[in-house]
């Protein structure tokens, strides 16, 4: 194993070449796709769920690093990248919408998250808001408009679990604990746009520590209509969201 300056990512500060912005997808397979939309992409490391590349936008270094699924692994990636000098984090993901008016293929920019996780409590009490940075949010909205995406801006429900926390009944037991029964309807009534699994941790962690974070996600399913996404739709939506996050990064570096 090569020498690194942090515990999990396998990176040194020298690897970043002064990068202060990181694009953080969940899926390691998205990292190379994102990096290759920029100039001079170079693979840096791959360990467990954390795959990282460095690339350049307008001559400035940008890191792309996967976080894996959920808050705990996201907190590791963000913490170690911050130790290495990153101060701005742009998350890109896919999501399930829960509002009727949001269509598959649309793009969601998260302004804040409902904290249905546990990891965010390790950084701030529940009273502290999981809120996105204004400059990051603005850059993502402008980038989405620039590429012609139908964009929705608002609140995301961020759950530790994919099944019970998002009130899914298509499970082995078919059971959802009392706390989450009818919770999706409640979030819908409050105007919450979607479910995902990382934004509560990312936004709480960054907002409480003087870091900047923003979040964009492509809609691959609307749960008011169906639960299982189409593979081709997933591919197209992911490609759209990736272009948006790269353009937003260009506006922020």
223 catalytic? Reply is: yes
Strands 151-159 and 107-116: what pairing?
parallel
Q: What local confidence, expressed as pLDDT, does residue 1 receive?
A: 40
Q: Which of 91, 115, 152, 223 is catalytic?
A: 223
Based on the number of CB atoms within 10 Å of its own CB, is 185 exposed (0-12), middle (13-18) or buried (19 or more)? exposed
Helix (H, G, I), strand (E, B) or coil at 231: helix
152 catalytic? Reply is: no
54 catalytic? Reply is: no
Q: How far is CA 156 from the centre of its chain?
A: 11
Strands 88-97 and 212-222: what pairing?
parallel
Chain length of the chain: 253
- Please give the structure tokens belonging to residue 4: 């690194």
- Please give the structure tokens belonging to residue 193: 């746009």
Based on the number of CB atoms within 10 Å of its own CB, is 126 exposed (0-12), middle (13-18) or buried (19 or more)? exposed
Tell me if 94 sits within 8 A of 220, measured CB to CB: yes
Q: Which of 30, 49, 54, 80 is catalytic?
A: 80
Q: Which of 30, 54, 115, 168 is catalytic?
A: 168
Q: How far is CA 178 from the centre of its chain?
A: 28
Beta carbons within 8 Å of 135's beta carbon, 6+ residues apart: 212, 252
How far, in Å, CA of 217 to CA of 237, rounded? Answer: 9
How far, in Å, CA of 22 to CA of 217, rounded? Answer: 16
Phi/psi for 248 (5° steps) reads: -65, -40
Kindly give the confidence (pLDDT) of every residue in the chain, 253 residues in length, as a single tens digit, with 9 standing for 90 and above.
Answer: 457 999 999 999 999 999 999 999 999 999 999 999 999 999 999 999 999 999 999 999 999 999 999 999 999 999 999 999 999 999 999 999 999 999 999 999 999 999 999 999 999 999 999 999 999 999 999 999 999 999 999 999 999 999 999 999 999 999 999 999 999 999 999 999 999 999 999 999 999 999 999 999 999 999 999 878 888 888 899 999 999 999 999 999 9
Q: What is the pTM of this model?
A: 0.97
8 catalytic? Reply is: yes
Tell me if 84 sits within 8 A of 201, measured CB to CB: no
Q: What is the CATH number of domain 13-252?
A: 3.40.50.1580
For the chain, the domains span 13-252
């Amino acid at each position: 194993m090569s020498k690194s300056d942090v515990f999990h990512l396998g990176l040194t500060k020298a690897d970043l070449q002064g990068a202060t912005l990181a694009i953080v997808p969940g899926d390691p397979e998205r990292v190379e796709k994102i990096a290759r939309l920029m100039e001079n992409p170079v693979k840096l490391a791959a360990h467990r769920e954390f795959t990282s590349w460095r690339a350049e936008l307008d001559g400035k270094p940008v890191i792309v690093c996967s976080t894996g699924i959920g808050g705990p692994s996201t907190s590791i990636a963000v913490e170690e990248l911050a130790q290495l000098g990153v101060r701005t984090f742009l998350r890109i993901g896919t999501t399930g919408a829960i509002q009727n008016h949001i269509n598959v293929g649309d793009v969601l920019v998260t302004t804040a998250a409902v904290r249905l996780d546990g990891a965010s409590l390790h950084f701030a009490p529940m009273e502290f808001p999981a809120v996105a940075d204004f400059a990051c949010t603005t850059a993502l909205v402008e980038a989405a408009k620039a590429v012609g995406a139908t964009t929705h801006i608002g609140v995301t429900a961020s759950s530790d679990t994919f099944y019970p926390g998002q009130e899914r009944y298509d499970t082995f037991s078919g059971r959802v604990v009392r706390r989450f029964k009818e919770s999706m309807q409640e979030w819908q009534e409050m105007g919450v746009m979607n479910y995902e699994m990382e934004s509560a941790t990312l936004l709480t962690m960054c907002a409480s520590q003087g870091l900047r974070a923003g979040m964009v996600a492509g809609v691959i399913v609307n749960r008011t209509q169906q639960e299982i996404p189409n593979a081709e739709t997933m591919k197209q939506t992911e490609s759209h969201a990736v272009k948006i996050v790269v353009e937003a990064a260009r506006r922020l570096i």
